[in-house]
Structure 1
């Protein structure tokens, strides 16, 4: 039973990873791409880790999986913020024109 749940959750996570990648490729601007990528990938990773949690043999392994997800969430949010701010600054600089 645990194997079936792992397969289903991992497959759902894979679908979200594919959706995030499709958004990264197809959306027109940086902010839309970031939104699609960070939301879908964070949910996909959460589902994948939840699926792996059913295969864990100890509480230590569950803790490590949870820590991986939390660190990935923090890193994705921080990176997305920095990329979005840089894109906004470049857009503002381009509209000002040459000095």
Structure 2
């Protein structure tokens, strides 16, 4: 049985505490630079954020793509992360700010 949204959120938060388990795609790094997000902000979103939306099958892996969201420095940020539950590695696919949230 696939993990529930609550289980995925807890898994992402727990795994992100070990930043060695967080990997950024080149696309994510480019979007972070373009949008003014720092690595520390991404870690905070993953470690303390809330899973939003419905996890979807990942295009690039056998896992799921999840969106974690959190207000950091007065701005709402989303980190899209690929997760292969129960594996500890997290792959950040993209990062963006939610305007007007």
The verdict on a shared fold, with TM-score over 0.5 as the criterion, is no
- TM-score, L = length of structure 2: 0.28
- TM-score, L = length of structure 1: 0.28
